Chain A
Amino acid sequence: MLPGFPDAAPLQGLIGGLLIGLAAALMLLGAGRIAGVSGILARGAGIAEGSMARTSAWGFIVGLPLGALAIRLATDWEPAVFAGWPLLIAAGLLVGFGTRMGSGCTSGHGVCGVSRLSQRSIVATATFMAAGIATVFIMSLIGA
Protein backbone atom coordinates (compact mmCIF):
# COMPACT_ATOMS: atom_id res chain seq x y z
CA MET A 1 0.00 0.00 0.00
CA LEU A 2 1.19 3.42 -0.91
CA PRO A 3 -0.23 6.28 1.18
CA GLY A 4 -2.46 8.47 -0.98
CA PHE A 5 -2.65 5.91 -3.79
CA PRO A 6 -4.99 3.09 -2.67
CA ASP A 7 -4.99 1.45 -6.13
CA ALA A 8 -1.21 1.40 -6.58
CA ALA A 9 0.74 -1.86 -6.29
CA PRO A 10 4.27 -0.60 -5.55
CA LEU A 11 5.65 -3.94 -4.30
CA GLN A 12 4.38 -5.98 -7.26
CA GLY A 13 5.59 -3.17 -9.52
CA LEU A 14 9.07 -3.22 -8.01
CA ILE A 15 9.37 -7.04 -8.08
CA GLY A 16 8.12 -7.12 -11.68
CA GLY A 17 10.49 -4.30 -12.58
CA LEU A 18 13.47 -6.17 -11.08
CA LEU A 19 12.50 -9.24 -13.15
CA ILE A 20 12.28 -7.11 -16.30
CA GLY A 21 15.69 -5.65 -15.45
CA LEU A 22 17.13 -9.16 -15.03
CA ALA A 23 15.59 -10.16 -18.37
CA ALA A 24 17.20 -7.19 -20.10
CA ALA A 25 20.52 -7.82 -18.29
CA LEU A 26 20.50 -11.43 -19.46
CA MET A 27 19.99 -10.29 -23.06
CA LEU A 28 22.77 -7.71 -22.74
CA LEU A 29 25.39 -9.81 -20.98
CA GLY A 30 24.33 -13.15 -22.48
CA ALA A 31 23.63 -12.26 -26.11
CA GLY A 32 25.22 -8.80 -26.29
CA ARG A 33 21.98 -7.14 -27.36
CA ILE A 34 19.28 -4.70 -26.32
CA ALA A 35 16.07 -6.35 -25.09
CA GLY A 36 13.85 -4.03 -27.09
CA VAL A 37 10.54 -5.74 -27.75
CA SER A 38 9.49 -3.67 -30.78
CA GLY A 39 12.83 -4.22 -32.52
CA ILE A 40 12.94 -7.95 -31.75
CA LEU A 41 9.34 -8.33 -32.93
CA ALA A 42 10.09 -6.54 -36.21
CA ARG A 43 13.19 -8.69 -36.65
CA GLY A 44 11.24 -11.90 -35.97
CA ALA A 45 8.48 -10.88 -38.37
CA GLY A 46 11.07 -10.16 -41.06
CA ILE A 47 10.15 -6.46 -41.16
CA ALA A 48 13.52 -5.24 -39.90
CA GLU A 49 16.97 -6.14 -41.10
CA GLY A 50 19.55 -6.65 -38.43
CA SER A 51 22.38 -8.74 -37.16
CA MET A 52 20.19 -10.62 -34.67
CA ALA A 53 19.46 -14.15 -35.89
CA ARG A 54 15.76 -14.59 -36.57
CA THR A 55 15.90 -17.82 -34.54
CA SER A 56 17.06 -15.78 -31.54
CA ALA A 57 14.31 -13.18 -32.10
CA TRP A 58 11.71 -15.93 -32.18
CA GLY A 59 13.15 -17.44 -29.00
CA PHE A 60 12.46 -14.17 -27.19
CA ILE A 61 9.02 -13.73 -28.79
CA VAL A 62 7.94 -17.22 -27.72
CA GLY A 63 9.56 -17.03 -24.28
CA LEU A 64 7.77 -13.81 -23.33
CA PRO A 65 4.15 -15.06 -23.38
CA LEU A 66 5.28 -18.33 -21.77
CA GLY A 67 6.66 -16.35 -18.82
CA ALA A 68 3.38 -14.45 -18.63
CA LEU A 69 1.49 -17.76 -18.70
CA ALA A 70 3.64 -19.16 -15.85
CA ILE A 71 2.64 -16.23 -13.61
CA ARG A 72 -0.96 -16.50 -14.79
CA LEU A 73 -1.07 -20.17 -13.72
CA ALA A 74 0.81 -19.63 -10.44
CA THR A 75 -1.20 -16.69 -9.12
CA ASP A 76 -4.82 -15.69 -8.86
CA TRP A 77 -5.06 -13.42 -11.82
CA GLU A 78 -8.02 -11.35 -12.91
CA PRO A 79 -8.74 -10.82 -16.59
CA ALA A 80 -7.87 -7.29 -17.66
CA VAL A 81 -10.26 -4.83 -19.29
CA PHE A 82 -9.29 -3.73 -22.81
CA ALA A 83 -10.47 -1.06 -25.22
CA GLY A 84 -12.83 -2.07 -28.03
CA TRP A 85 -11.53 -3.41 -31.33
CA PRO A 86 -11.57 -0.11 -33.27
CA LEU A 87 -9.45 1.62 -30.62
CA LEU A 88 -7.17 -1.41 -30.25
CA ILE A 89 -6.52 -1.43 -33.98
CA ALA A 90 -5.94 2.34 -34.21
CA ALA A 91 -3.60 2.16 -31.21
CA GLY A 92 -1.79 -0.87 -32.61
CA LEU A 93 -1.10 0.90 -35.91
CA LEU A 94 0.29 3.95 -34.07
CA VAL A 95 2.42 1.83 -31.73
CA GLY A 96 3.83 -0.21 -34.62
CA PHE A 97 4.53 2.77 -36.86
CA GLY A 98 5.84 4.97 -34.04
CA THR A 99 8.16 2.42 -32.42
CA ARG A 100 9.84 1.67 -35.75
CA MET A 101 10.11 5.33 -36.69
CA GLY A 102 11.43 6.22 -33.23
CA SER A 103 13.73 3.16 -33.04
CA GLY A 104 12.27 1.70 -29.86
CA CYS A 105 9.61 1.42 -27.21
CA THR A 106 9.25 1.23 -23.43
CA SER A 107 11.75 -1.63 -23.14
CA GLY A 108 14.49 -0.58 -25.57
CA HIS A 109 14.41 3.15 -24.86
CA GLY A 110 12.66 3.24 -21.46
CA VAL A 111 14.59 0.48 -19.68
CA CYS A 112 17.76 -0.31 -21.65
CA GLY A 113 18.51 3.16 -23.02
CA VAL A 114 17.60 5.24 -19.96
CA SER A 115 19.74 3.00 -17.72
CA ARG A 116 22.62 3.49 -20.17
CA LEU A 117 22.02 7.28 -19.93
CA SER A 118 21.56 7.41 -23.71
CA GLN A 119 20.52 10.91 -24.72
CA ARG A 120 18.33 9.57 -27.55
CA SER A 121 16.53 7.15 -25.25
CA ILE A 122 15.97 9.72 -22.50
CA VAL A 123 14.44 12.14 -25.03
CA ALA A 124 12.34 9.37 -26.62
CA THR A 125 11.08 8.17 -23.23
CA ALA A 126 10.15 11.70 -22.11
CA THR A 127 8.38 12.20 -25.45
CA PHE A 128 6.28 9.03 -25.45
CA MET A 129 5.36 9.52 -21.80
CA ALA A 130 4.28 13.12 -22.44
CA ALA A 131 2.32 12.04 -25.54
CA GLY A 132 0.67 9.23 -23.57
CA ILE A 133 -0.26 11.57 -20.71
CA ALA A 134 -1.69 14.13 -23.17
CA THR A 135 -3.66 11.41 -24.98
CA VAL A 136 -5.22 10.04 -21.79
CA PHE A 137 -6.04 13.61 -20.69
CA ILE A 138 -7.71 14.49 -24.00
CA MET A 139 -9.64 11.22 -24.02
CA SER A 140 -10.91 11.89 -20.51
CA LEU A 141 -12.05 15.39 -21.62
CA ILE A 142 -14.05 14.02 -24.53
CA GLY A 143 -15.29 11.11 -22.44
CA ALA A 144 -13.72 8.39 -24.56
Chain B
Amino acid sequence: MKFPDLHATLFWVLASATALSAISVVLTQNIVRSAVWLLFSLAGTAGIFFLVGADFVAATQLIVYVGGTLVLVIFGVMLTAQGPFISMKTSAAEWAFSVVAGLVFLGVLLVTVTQGKWVGHFAAVSPAESTSAVALGESLLGIADATPPAQLIGTAAPDQPLPRTRMSYLLPFEIVSVHLLVVLIGAAYLARAKRRRGAAA
Protein backbone atom coordinates (compact mmCIF):
# COMPACT_ATOMS: atom_id res chain seq x y z
CA MET B 1 0.00 0.00 0.00
CA LYS B 2 2.15 2.82 -1.26
CA PHE B 3 -0.30 5.13 -2.96
CA PRO B 4 -2.73 5.62 -0.03
CA ASP B 5 -0.01 7.49 1.87
CA LEU B 6 -0.28 10.42 -0.50
CA HIS B 7 -4.04 10.03 -0.52
CA ALA B 8 -4.15 10.02 3.28
CA THR B 9 -1.91 13.09 3.56
CA LEU B 10 -3.97 14.99 1.05
CA PHE B 11 -7.17 13.91 2.75
CA TRP B 12 -6.03 15.11 6.17
CA VAL B 13 -4.82 18.45 4.82
CA LEU B 14 -7.99 19.10 2.83
CA ALA B 15 -10.36 17.74 5.46
CA SER B 16 -8.86 19.77 8.29
CA ALA B 17 -8.88 22.92 6.13
CA THR B 18 -12.51 22.31 5.16
CA ALA B 19 -13.68 21.52 8.68
CA LEU B 20 -11.80 24.39 10.34
CA SER B 21 -13.14 26.85 7.77
CA ALA B 22 -16.65 25.53 8.36
CA ILE B 23 -16.24 26.04 12.10
CA SER B 24 -14.92 29.54 11.47
CA VAL B 25 -18.04 30.32 9.39
CA VAL B 26 -20.10 29.67 12.51
CA LEU B 27 -17.82 31.47 14.95
CA THR B 28 -17.10 34.63 12.92
CA GLN B 29 -19.43 37.51 13.67
CA ASN B 30 -18.50 39.64 10.66
CA ILE B 31 -20.66 38.43 7.78
CA VAL B 32 -18.12 39.18 5.03
CA ARG B 33 -15.40 37.24 6.83
CA SER B 34 -17.92 34.42 7.26
CA ALA B 35 -18.35 34.42 3.51
CA VAL B 36 -14.56 34.18 3.06
CA TRP B 37 -14.39 31.18 5.38
CA LEU B 38 -17.29 29.69 3.45
CA LEU B 39 -15.20 30.19 0.31
CA PHE B 40 -12.36 28.16 1.81
CA SER B 41 -14.77 25.51 3.01
CA LEU B 42 -16.36 25.15 -0.42
CA ALA B 43 -12.99 25.14 -2.18
CA GLY B 44 -11.78 22.46 0.26
CA THR B 45 -14.87 20.42 -0.54
CA ALA B 46 -14.00 20.73 -4.22
CA GLY B 47 -10.53 19.42 -3.37
CA ILE B 48 -12.11 16.47 -1.57
CA PHE B 49 -14.15 15.77 -4.70
CA PHE B 50 -10.99 15.78 -6.82
CA LEU B 51 -9.46 13.37 -4.33
CA VAL B 52 -12.25 10.82 -4.77
CA GLY B 53 -12.15 11.00 -8.57
CA ALA B 54 -15.28 13.10 -9.03
CA ASP B 55 -13.47 15.73 -11.09
CA PHE B 56 -16.51 16.90 -13.00
CA VAL B 57 -18.47 17.47 -9.80
CA ALA B 58 -15.47 19.25 -8.31
CA ALA B 59 -15.15 21.63 -11.24
CA THR B 60 -18.90 22.25 -11.13
CA GLN B 61 -18.63 22.97 -7.42
CA LEU B 62 -15.93 25.55 -8.14
CA ILE B 63 -17.63 27.25 -11.07
CA VAL B 64 -21.18 27.27 -9.66
CA TYR B 65 -20.62 27.64 -5.93
CA VAL B 66 -17.42 29.65 -5.67
CA GLY B 67 -17.63 31.58 -8.91
CA GLY B 68 -21.40 32.09 -8.90
CA THR B 69 -23.33 31.55 -5.69
CA LEU B 70 -20.72 32.93 -3.33
CA VAL B 71 -20.16 36.03 -5.45
CA LEU B 72 -23.94 36.50 -5.35
CA VAL B 73 -23.90 36.11 -1.56
CA ILE B 74 -21.12 38.70 -1.21
CA PHE B 75 -23.09 40.95 -3.53
CA GLY B 76 -26.10 40.57 -1.22
CA VAL B 77 -23.96 41.34 1.82
CA MET B 78 -22.60 44.49 0.18
CA LEU B 79 -26.08 45.67 -0.77
CA THR B 80 -27.56 45.09 2.68
CA ALA B 81 -24.62 45.77 4.99
CA GLN B 82 -24.99 49.02 6.85
CA GLY B 83 -22.57 49.64 9.69
CA PRO B 84 -24.32 48.15 12.72
CA PHE B 85 -25.92 45.30 10.82
CA ILE B 86 -22.70 43.81 9.49
CA SER B 87 -22.18 41.96 12.75
CA MET B 88 -25.31 41.00 14.63
CA LYS B 89 -24.49 39.69 18.06
CA THR B 90 -25.92 36.46 19.34
CA SER B 91 -26.46 36.29 23.10
CA ALA B 92 -24.30 34.03 25.27
CA ALA B 93 -27.25 31.87 26.33
CA GLU B 94 -28.15 31.22 22.71
CA TRP B 95 -24.55 30.35 21.99
CA ALA B 96 -24.31 27.93 24.90
CA PHE B 97 -27.53 26.20 23.94
CA SER B 98 -26.58 25.94 20.26
CA VAL B 99 -23.12 24.61 20.98
CA VAL B 100 -24.45 21.93 23.32
CA ALA B 101 -27.16 20.94 20.87
CA GLY B 102 -24.65 20.93 18.01
CA LEU B 103 -22.15 18.76 19.89
CA VAL B 104 -24.88 16.28 20.81
CA PHE B 105 -26.01 16.19 17.19
CA LEU B 106 -22.44 15.70 15.98
CA GLY B 107 -22.00 12.89 18.48
CA VAL B 108 -25.12 11.13 17.23
CA LEU B 109 -23.97 11.46 13.61
CA LEU B 110 -20.46 10.20 14.35
CA VAL B 111 -21.76 7.21 16.29
CA THR B 112 -24.06 6.39 13.37
CA VAL B 113 -21.16 6.69 10.95
CA THR B 114 -18.87 4.39 12.94
CA GLN B 115 -21.60 1.85 13.64
CA GLY B 116 -22.48 1.51 9.97
CA LYS B 117 -20.98 -1.52 8.23
CA TRP B 118 -20.16 -0.35 4.73
CA VAL B 119 -18.87 -2.90 2.28
CA GLY B 120 -16.24 -0.80 0.58
CA HIS B 121 -13.06 -1.33 -1.39
CA PHE B 122 -10.45 1.31 -1.97
CA ALA B 123 -9.48 2.02 -5.55
CA ALA B 124 -7.36 4.92 -6.70
CA VAL B 125 -8.50 6.77 -9.81
CA SER B 126 -6.08 9.19 -11.42
CA PRO B 127 -7.70 12.33 -12.84
CA ALA B 128 -6.64 11.47 -16.40
CA GLU B 129 -8.26 8.04 -16.37
CA SER B 130 -11.33 9.09 -14.47
CA THR B 131 -14.21 8.66 -16.89
CA SER B 132 -16.82 10.00 -14.52
CA ALA B 133 -17.50 12.96 -16.83
CA VAL B 134 -18.33 10.61 -19.73
CA ALA B 135 -20.51 8.38 -17.57
CA LEU B 136 -22.27 11.42 -16.14
CA GLY B 137 -22.91 12.92 -19.54
CA GLU B 138 -24.29 9.71 -21.00
CA SER B 139 -26.45 9.16 -17.97
CA LEU B 140 -27.86 12.70 -18.19
CA LEU B 141 -28.54 12.09 -21.90
CA GLY B 142 -30.74 9.14 -21.03
CA ILE B 143 -28.37 6.26 -21.82
CA ALA B 144 -29.03 3.68 -19.13
CA ASP B 145 -25.94 1.67 -20.07
CA ALA B 146 -23.76 4.46 -18.69
CA THR B 147 -24.27 3.28 -15.13
CA PRO B 148 -21.78 0.49 -14.39
CA PRO B 149 -23.02 -3.08 -14.32
CA ALA B 150 -22.83 -4.05 -10.66
CA GLN B 151 -24.53 -6.21 -8.14
CA LEU B 152 -26.44 -4.86 -5.19
CA ILE B 153 -24.77 -5.36 -1.85
CA GLY B 154 -26.18 -5.44 1.62
CA THR B 155 -29.35 -7.16 0.48
CA ALA B 156 -31.27 -9.60 2.66
CA ALA B 157 -29.76 -12.62 0.94
CA PRO B 158 -26.07 -11.88 0.34
CA ASP B 159 -25.49 -15.26 -1.28
CA GLN B 160 -27.92 -14.43 -4.08
CA PRO B 161 -26.62 -11.15 -5.50
CA LEU B 162 -29.12 -9.16 -7.52
CA PRO B 163 -28.17 -7.10 -10.56
CA ARG B 164 -28.89 -3.46 -9.96
CA THR B 165 -31.39 -1.55 -12.04
CA ARG B 166 -29.53 0.57 -14.55
CA MET B 167 -30.90 4.08 -14.55
CA SER B 168 -30.59 7.20 -16.64
CA TYR B 169 -31.31 10.74 -15.61
CA LEU B 170 -32.68 12.54 -18.63
CA LEU B 171 -36.00 13.49 -17.02
CA PRO B 172 -34.49 14.91 -13.80
CA PHE B 173 -32.02 16.82 -15.96
CA GLU B 174 -34.85 18.40 -17.96
CA ILE B 175 -36.81 19.16 -14.79
CA VAL B 176 -33.79 20.86 -13.28
CA SER B 177 -33.33 22.91 -16.46
CA VAL B 178 -36.95 24.11 -16.34
CA HIS B 179 -36.55 24.74 -12.63
CA LEU B 180 -33.53 26.95 -13.29
CA LEU B 181 -35.48 28.91 -15.89
CA VAL B 182 -38.32 29.44 -13.40
CA VAL B 183 -35.82 30.54 -10.76
CA LEU B 184 -34.23 32.97 -13.22
CA ILE B 185 -37.58 34.60 -13.92
CA GLY B 186 -38.62 34.47 -10.27
CA ALA B 187 -35.43 36.06 -8.98
CA ALA B 188 -35.60 38.79 -11.61
CA TYR B 189 -39.24 39.44 -10.69
CA LEU B 190 -38.58 39.54 -6.94
CA ALA B 191 -35.50 41.73 -7.10
CA ARG B 192 -36.71 44.16 -9.78
CA ALA B 193 -36.86 47.86 -8.98
CA LYS B 194 -40.36 48.69 -7.82
CA ARG B 195 -41.26 52.05 -9.27
CA ARG B 196 -45.03 51.76 -9.10
CA ARG B 197 -45.13 50.99 -5.41
CA GLY B 198 -45.12 54.62 -4.25
CA ALA B 199 -47.78 55.64 -6.77
CA ALA B 200 -50.12 52.77 -5.91
CA ALA B 201 -49.90 53.16 -2.14
Bound together: no
